[in-house]
Structure 1
């Protein structure tokens, strides 16, 4: 089982050009004028009740916020705290994460069919059979114009997760890959 997940991680990495992350959604508002935005803040998620058993959720989300803040700061945006400002920040960033359990399958071949024994209505067809399960994590970022409440950028990145979870380095690498598609100011 462990070798199947390792093999799948390797295959996804090779298929994605030596990166184990793939961008699954990248939509933007082409009418947005990014030069008018200077500040950003994160949407307050402190009131969200995390599921039981997800002790590291808040820690992981804080690591994601740090990585996103680093990328936006590199591009000239300044992080602000909504409570300390007289007005709103220019941009609001909303972060979401989902982990889904997936089933790895393979297709059967004619060589796996039972021997024909002379039955009148014998029928065989190829089918998908499960061979293992793995977890796939998806990170979503929504960048919103805080004044107009208009979605400017909606992006999601996905990857197969290892048994030990995600490290800060993996989070930084995934967020950096997402920001290669950022429609605003470039680093």
Structure 2
């Protein structure tokens, strides 16, 4: 009975450790002293496109909430929205990209046409499109305001459902990106 209970616990922990998101990039400046930073602010993304779509605005807002939660958990304080971002120690730049991908499979020798004839017959495996899906990528850049230098760069990607990403999925993706965050720990 004790062995079965242990196996069940290990199975549950294994499933919880699995994430449907993969870290695409996680680089940081190793010489950065993260204890010198206290505050952070987000870069205004509306300067790039003054009229972004409602879906994009909602996704960015949810990513900002998730990143704000992660940074606050690590001891940083977010500047009030009425304060200029240049007064913070850190600036956070967020990027969200959704791209359409094609899922493929390889052909097998059993799918080759029957051939009777000369000896120089050649068959080669090919990739055959099966379906399409959308992949979302969240990029996070943290910049030291005083030095105007990038000190942490991370990106996490995952397959999106037909209706896009939910707030829980965005939170999970940001949490995955912050698993290797070099900053303060509380």
TM-score (normalised: structure 2): 0.85
Aligned length: 171
What do the CA deviations read for 1:139-162 (whole angstroms, capped 9, x no partner)?
000000011001110000000011
Q: How does 1:33-72 map to 2 (within 5 A)?
A: 33-49=33-49, 54-72=53-71
CA RMSD of superposed structures (Å): 2.2
Q: Hey, what's the Cα distance between the residues in 2 that align with 1:87 and 1:59?
A: 24
Q: How does 1:166-177 map to 2 (within 5 A)?
A: 166-177=165-176
Q: How does 1:125-136 map to 2 (within 5 A)?
A: 125-136=124-135
Q: Which residue of 1 aligns with 2:7?
A: none
CA gap 1:82/1:146 in 2 versus in 1, 3 angstroms:
farther
> 1:88·1:147 contact (CA, 8 Å) conserved in 2?
no
The structural deviation recorded for 1:51 is 8.2
Q: How does 1:8-157 map to 2 (within 5 A)?
A: 18-49=18-49, 54-81=53-80, 84=83, 88-119=87-118, 121-157=120-156
Look up the SS of the partner of 2:177 in the other structure: helix
CA gap 1:104/1:51 in 2 versus in 1, 3 angstroms:
farther
Give the unaligned 5+ runs of structure 1.
1-13
The structural deviation recorded for 1:118 is 1.5
The structural deviation recorded for 1:67 is 0.6
Look up the SS of the partner of 1:186 in the other structure: coil
CA gap 1:138/1:85 in 2 versus in 1, 3 angstroms:
closer
What do the CA deviations read for 1:25-68 (whole angstroms, capped 9, x no partner)?
0000000000000000001112232788x431101100110110
TM-score (normalised: structure 1): 0.84
Give the unaligned 5+ runs of structure 2.
1-13
Moved over 6 A (4+): none
Q: Hey, what's the Cα distance between the residues in 2 that align with 1:51 and 1:105?
A: 36
